[in-house]
Amino acid sequence: MIIKKRYSLWFVILITVAMSARTVAQDRPAADVKQRDLIAVLQSDAPKSKKAITCKQLAIYGTEQSVPVLAPLLADKELASWARIALEAIPGTAADTALRNALDKLQGRLLVGAINSIAVRRDVHAVDTLMRKLDDANAPVASAAAVALGHIGGEKAAKALTKSLAIVPAGVRSAVAEGCILCAERFLAHDRTAEAVKLYDTVRKADVPDQRHLEAIRGAILARQAAGVPLLIEQLRSEDKKRLGIGLRTARELPGRNVTEALAVELDRLSPDRRPLLLLALADRSDSAVLPTVHKAAQSSPKDLRITAINILIRLGDVSCVPILLEAATEDDANLEQAAMETLVRLPGKDVDADLLARLPQARGKLQQVLIELAGQRQISRALPVVVSSLHDTDARIRSAAVRTIGIIGQDQQTADLVKLLQKTNSSRERAGIKKALLAISGRCGVRCIPHLIPLTQSRDSELHMIGLRALAIVGGSDALVAVKSAIESAEPPAQDEAVRILSNWPSNWPEDSEAGQALLMLATSAKKMPHQVLALRGYLQYIRGNKKLSNERKVAKVKDLQSHIKRPEEKRQAIAVLGEAASASALELLTTLAEEPAVAEEAYSAMVRIAGQDIRGVSKDQRRQVLQTVAEKSRNDGTKQRARKTLSGLR
């Protein structure tokens, strides 16, 4: 039973902490020496801060020998919590006795602390004293005692708590109810179901906070097992939302096929707004008996329930759900269609793929469109021939679906099909769809696509030309680069601009495409149009920054060579970013020059701190100090100043 199994998990810690003396102690002689030293600290005039940490260490190394020096600390407001860390952990009865003895000496918070530690250790010998504390005038003390009794459990504790429930002040009642529920769980863990049920029912009827009622209701349902179904259904029908909530939770927890069946029957009896909630709870039961109920709901009304059922089929469905889902996906309702498509995409199983594939050749209209989409989303590559044949369908929606699917599962040969289709259509929408698919295949299939894409780069239609260039840019490599460079030199202005943009963002396959760097440098230094120069300059600086084959010195040299072309602050900042990552003496030198320009001084200072913080060949510690000192004095940015000072202090 769930409640029983779970209960034992938590308490095993409590048991084994207290009983760990039975386990094998590692290296006990060494631990004994350690303990002796730690005890000596506690007995000395050491400051409390040292004694505090000593207590913590005794939690690991302490034995019963430590208890006499720890026990007096229970009355020390500042050290009591530290002492209890050790006392809770030290195995054996001495710690139990020390905590029990403290109950008659302590008051208020310190007393509560000692009671809490007894609860953790589950000291059965403390029950009588704790029972007396139930009547304590101090509500936190009485409450702590009640919860401690719950943790310890047993008949005596349960009897005391039950008796108290009716007589303790309102402020303590919640804790007493908590104690009762804990006791009930202890009974269940020992197969004493009747006693557990009795305790749960007592709390259900008591004048306690509602949360305790809810816990008791849950316990009462689960403890009764199948016999708890009527109480569960009572909650599901309750006007009170909280009781409905506890019903929904226990509907997930209470095991058994007969419970599933009873809840399925109840589904039809509930008000429409509650049915989706119960259906979700049923679905969480991991019981295959739920599936017919979900099937039925997926075909029924109202819509909310239907959508809920369709979504549940993602988890529970199989090939048998396909007809139901296809029906929903082809209905004239966007919400239903979306839900059904999502489920159909994720429904597991190769038999689902086979079923969908078998339906595709005969399908027409909306069903055909849906099946084509699914072939893509589910990556049913065997559907490719049928999908390709749909590229020329008279229905634009089917053509679009086919293009999308080919974008996902198509190969390089389909690049040719898409290029042909692209050349035939003037519809901007269709062109956009085909472009996406082309880019996707190009990315996937690489250089094999190039022969099919070249015709686009020769098109007089500038839009097609640009699509071709973009697809080539994704492919990358020297052939693609040649086409892009050719467009820069000879194409019409719009395509030329696009080609420069593509080159300046040339995918960072550097240094494989090192020719891109050369082309960018040429453009940066000699392009006729200023925007082309700027784009190329940015691309080139990015190229330098990302090129792992270039040494730091060579990177700095390249920036230096280009310095006369780097005029605007934007590009200077980019150059500083390159220099900041190229830790070297030459980078520091160049940054020092750039720091004299107010527009980029702060970026330069920040980069200087970054470099000066590193041990660099050719830069002495004195030089690094000097750089950091300069930054600390001149920078106006508090963060940079602080970093400079911190780095400087680390160098001293």
Partner 1 sequence: MCKERVGLNRRRFLKTAVQASVCLAVPEFIPGTALGKSGSVAPSERIVLGAIGIGNRGRYVLGCFLREPDLRCVTVCDVRGDNRRRAKDMVDAQNGNKDCTTYIDMRELLARDDIDAVLIATGPNWHATAATMAAKAGKDVYCEKPCTKNIAQSLALADIFRRTARVFQAGTQRRSLPNFAYAIELARTGKLGPLQTLHAHPGGLGTKMSGWLPAEPEPPREQVDWDMYLGPAAWRPYTRKLMNAFHFEKGGGLVGGGCLEWGSHCVDLCQLANDADDTAPVEYEPVNGQLHARYANGVKLVMRNDGWLPLGSCPVRFEGKTGWVETGDNAEFAASSQSLLLRRGTKIPGYPADFHVRDFLDCVKTRALTRANADAACWAHIACHAANIALYLNRKVKYDPKKNEFIGDEQANRLRSEALREPWRI
- Range 574-613, binding partner 1 (CB under 8 A): none
Q: What CA dihedral angle connects 87, 91, 93 and 95, to 10 degrees? A: -10
Q: What six digits make up the tokens of 119? A: 């609860």
Q: What is the rounded distance in angstroms from the CA atom of residue 521 to the CA atom of residue 535?
A: 11
- Range 114-173, binding partner 1 (CB under 8 A): 114, 116-117, 119-120, 140, 144, 147
Q: Which is nearer to partner 1, 255 or 546 (CB)?
A: 546
Q: Which is nearer to partner 1, 270 or 601 (CB)?
A: 270
513-549 b/e with 16+ CB inside 10 Å = b? beebbebbbebbeebeeeebbbbbbbbbbbbbbebee
- Range 196-255, binding partner 1 (CB under 8 A): 209-211, 214-215, 218-219, 242, 245-246, 248-250, 252
- Range 277-296, binding partner 1 (CB under 8 A): 277, 280-281, 284
Which residue is listed with tokens 């399925």? 264
Q: Which is nearer to partner 1, 281 or 619 (CB)?
A: 281
- Range 415-444, binding partner 1 (CB under 8 A): 436-437, 439-440, 443-444
Q: Which of 4, 46, 57, 479 binds partner 1 (CB under 8 A)?
A: 57
- Range 345-364, binding partner 1 (CB under 8 A): 345-346, 348
- Residue 82: CB minimum distance to partner 1, A: 5
- Residue 353: CB minimum distance to partner 1, A: 13
Q: Which of 38, 39, 67, 79 binds partner 1 (CB under 8 A)?
A: 79
User: Is residue 356 within 8 Å of 380, Cβ to Cβ?
Assistant: yes
Among candidate residues 259, 347, 339, the one with its CA nearest the CA of residue 303 = 339
CA atoms within 13 A on the CB side of 131: 16
The reply to whether 407 sits near partner 1 by the rule CB under 8 A is: yes
The reply to whether 321 sits near partner 1 by the rule CB under 8 A is: no
Verify cis geometry, omega within 30 degrees of 0, for the bond prior to 511: yes
Which range touches partner 1 (CB under 8 A), out of 47-55, 350-358, 491-499, 634-642?
47-55
Among candidate residues 470, 478, 489, the one with its CA nearest the CA of residue 511 = 478
- Range 4-33, binding partner 1 (CB under 8 A): 6-7, 9-10, 12-14, 16-17, 20-21, 23-26, 31
Phi then psi for 211, rounded to 5 degrees?
-60, -35
Which range touches partner 1 (CB under 8 A), out of 129-137, 337-345, 557-565, 605-613?
337-345
- Residue 14: CB minimum distance to partner 1, A: 8
- Residue 36: CB minimum distance to partner 1, A: 17
The reply to whether 412 sits near partner 1 by the rule CB under 8 A is: no
Phi then psi for 22, rounded to 5 degrees?
-75, -20
The reply to whether 113 sits near partner 1 by the rule CB under 8 A is: yes
The reply to whether 303 sits near partner 1 by the rule CB under 8 A is: yes
Q: Which of 38, 42, 66, 84 binds partner 1 (CB under 8 A)?
A: 84
The reply to whether 310 sits near partner 1 by the rule CB under 8 A is: yes
Helices (H), 410-529: 412-424, 428-445, 450-457, 462-475, 477-490, 493-504, 514-526
The reply to whether 515 sits near partner 1 by the rule CB under 8 A is: no
User: Is residue 73 within 8 Å of 82, Cβ to Cβ?
Assistant: yes
Which range touches partner 1 (CB under 8 A), out of 129-137, 306-314, 351-359, 588-596?
306-314
Among candidate residues 141, 130, 210, 204, the one with its CA nearest the CA of residue 172 = 141
First and final C-alpha spacing in the chain = 66
Q: What is the rounded distance in angstroms from the CA atom of residue 619 to the CA atom of residue 594?
A: 19
The reply to whether 35 sits near partner 1 by the rule CB under 8 A is: no
Q: What is the rounded distance in angstroms from the CA atom of residue 547 to the CA atom of residue 331?
A: 54
User: Is residue 41 within 8 Å of 50, Cβ to Cβ?
Assistant: yes
The reply to whether 371 sits near partner 1 by the rule CB under 8 A is: no
